[in-house]
A = this chain, B = another copy of it.
Amino acid sequence: MTRHGRKSPPLLQFALVLALAAPAAHAQRTVPFRGNIPVAPRGIVVPPLPDEPVEYQTAEGQDIRVVVVTRGLERPWSMAFLPDGGMLITERGGQLRHFRGGTLDPDPVDGVPEVRAQGLGGLMDIALHPAFQDNAWVYLTYSQPFEDRSTLALARGRWTGDALEGVEDIFVADPGTGGASRIAFGLDGTLYMTTGGGGAQDANTLGGKVLRLTDEGDVPTDNPFVGVEGSRPEVYTLGHRNSIGLAVHPGTGSVWQNENGPNGGDEINILQPGGNYGWPLISLGRTYPGPWQSEAFWRDGMLQPVVYWMPSIAVSGMAFYTGDALPLWKGDVFVGGLRVGEIPGTGRLERILFNEDMEELRRESLLVDMRQRIRDVRQGPDELLYLLTDEDDGALLRIEPGD
C-alpha cells in the first residue's frame, strides 16, 4: 500500500478549497455492494497456520497450546470421533475424509451421496448414532441436487471401518429447502436437525426450523406439532436464521442451538419444544445494507436468546466443555466464529462462562491472531478441544493444556 501523499494536484486543491468553504457533509464513504451485501473489504491478509504449536495465556489462567493435527482438508465442515481413535471429517465440497493413526487418508471415503456445494450447502454435518458401537450407523446432512438448486437431506449408512455402505436418505426436506444443516442426537435418542432458507415463521414449511426426528428419519410421536393442523410434524422449533451450531448438554439433555444474524444479532438459543425464536420478525441485528432488521428487539410470545453477539462473529459449531484436561474451562461453552461481518481474517473461537443458572458472566475470544475461519469445535474423547478451519487448505486443530 502506498502512503497517502499530502501534496494535491492543482485541480484537487481547488476542489478542497470549495469543500472547506462549505459546511462539511457527513463525509461518509460510499461502500460498494454486491446485491444487498457490502463487498468484503480485503485489507487483511490471513497468515498461514504456524508449523509449530502456539502457546497462549488465556483469561482464566488456563494456559493452552494449539496444535495443527493435520492440514490438507478442503473446507472441512464437521467431524466425528470413532471408537478406535480415528476420526471422520466432512468436506463441504462432498468428500468424507478418514483420519487414523495420525494420518489423513488421501483417498476420500466411498459411499457418500452426490452433493451440490452451492451457497451455504454441500456435504455438511456428520454424527455417529449413540449406539454406534453396536450398529455402526453414521448420519450425514447434505444438499441434494435439485434443479439448479438443492434440497437438504439426511442420509445414513454403515461404517465398515473403511467406507460407508448401504447409504440411503432417511429424510429429505421439501424440494428446494436450502441452507445449512447441523444435527445432534438428544439424550432420548431422537435427532435434532437445523434447516435454513426462508419460511422460518411458517410452521407448515421445513425451512428456518429445527426439526426433531427419530433415528430412522421418522416423526417422534411426542413432537410438539404432531396433530396440529397447518403444521409440519417434524418441526421442533421455528423462527431461525442460518444455523450451524447445535449441542446437547451431556448432563441435562438441554438442546442448545445457535444462528447467524446478518449484521449483528448472532444468537444462542435454548430450544423449547414448539418455541418461536423470532426470525425474521425480530432480530437483535441489522440487515446487511444497514437498517435494523426489526423495529423492536423483542416481541411477546417469541423467545429471547441466552447469548447473543453484536457485532456478529458468524457463529458456527458449538460444544459444551465438560472435561478435566482443561480444568479452568470446565463447564464453559465454546462456539466457533467464521468472521466478524464480512471482514476476512476475523475468525476465532469464543468461550463463554456461565454461572450455575446458565446465565452468562463473561466471554473470551481465543485464537484471534490466527485469523482462521473456525467452522466446528468439539470435545474429543481425550477431553481436548478439536477445531476445524473453513479454508481451502483447511486444518484440524487441537487445544491442549499448556506448560
The stretch that binds B, out of A74-82, A157-165, A321-329, is A321-329
User: Which of B252, B263, B327 is within 8 Å of A360, CB to CB?
Assistant: B263
User: Which of B4, B44, B58 is within 8 Å of A58, CB to CB?
Assistant: B44
User: Which of B28, B327, B358 is within 8 Å of A4, CB to CB?
Assistant: B327
Judge if A250 is at the interface, Cβ distance under 8 Å: yes
A residues with CB within 8 A of B = 1-4, 6, 23-31, 38, 41-45, 57-63, 249-252, 263-264, 284, 286, 288-292, 296-298, 304, 308-311, 322, 324-328, 330-331, 340-346, 353-365, 368-369, 401-403
User: Which of B3, B44, B289, B292 is within 8 Å of A57, CB to CB?
Assistant: B44
Cβ–Cβ contact B27 & A322, under 8 A: yes
Interface CB pairs A-B, < 8 A, 11:
A4-B401, A29-B331, A29-B353, A41-B61, A43-B58, A43-B59, A59-B343, A263-B362, A284-B310, A297-B297, A369-B369
User: Which of B24, B355, B361 is within 8 Å of A322, CB to CB?
Assistant: B24
Chain B residues closer than 8 Å to A355, beta-carbon distance:
28, 31, 289-290
A28-B401 contact in complex given A59-B43, A327-B4, C-beta closer than 8 Å: no
Chain B residues closer than 8 Å to A2, beta-carbon distance:
403
Extra A-B contacts (6), CB below 8 Å, given A290-B359, A342-B362: A1-B63, A3-B402, A4-B401, A43-B63, A290-B360, A343-B362
Chain B residues closer than 8 Å to A356, beta-carbon distance:
26, 28, 30
Chain B residues closer than 8 Å to A365, beta-carbon distance:
340
User: Which of B309, B361, B403 is within 8 Å of A310, CB to CB?
Assistant: B309
Cβ–Cβ contact B325 & A402, under 8 A: no
A331-B43 contact in complex given A290-B360, A362-B311, A401-B4, C-beta closer than 8 Å: no
Cβ–Cβ contact B41 & A60, under 8 A: yes
Chain B residues closer than 8 Å to A358, beta-carbon distance:
26, 28
Cβ–Cβ contact B263 & A284, under 8 A: no
Cβ–Cβ contact B61 & A1, under 8 A: yes
- State in angstroms the CA–CA spacing of A289 and B354 once bound together: 10
Cβ–Cβ contact A353 & B31, under 8 A: yes
User: Which of B44, B327, B354 is within 8 Å of A59, CB to CB?
Assistant: B44
Cβ–Cβ contact B43 & A57, under 8 A: yes
Cβ–Cβ contact B361 & A251, under 8 A: no
Cβ–Cβ contact A363 & B59, under 8 A: no
Cβ–Cβ contact A330 & B58, under 8 A: no
Cβ–Cβ contact B3 & A357, under 8 A: no
Chain B residues closer than 8 Å to A363, beta-carbon distance:
311, 340-341
Cβ–Cβ contact B354 & A340, under 8 A: no
Chain B residues closer than 8 Å to A360, beta-carbon distance:
263-264, 286, 290
- State in angstroms the CA–CA spacing of A38 and B402 once bound together: 25
The 8 closest A-B pairs by CB, nearest first: A290-B359, A24-B251, A43-B61, A297-B297, A341-B362, A28-B331, A1-B63, A290-B355
Chain B residues closer than 8 Å to A30, beta-carbon distance:
356
Candidate in A45, A284, A311 with the most chain B CB atoms within 10 angstroms? A311
Chain B residues closer than 8 Å to A57, beta-carbon distance:
43-45
Q: How many Å from the CB of A331 to the closest CB on chain B? A: 4
User: Which of B23, B31, B288, B324 is within 8 Å of A251, CB to CB?
Assistant: B23
Q: How many Å from the CB of A402 to the closest CB on chain B? A: 6
Candidate in A45, A263, A355 with the most chain B CB atoms within 10 angstroms? A355
Candidate in A3, A29, A345, A364 with the most chain B CB atoms within 10 angstroms? A29
Chain B residues closer than 8 Å to A342, beta-carbon distance:
362
Chain B residue at minimum C-beta to C-beta distance from A63? B1
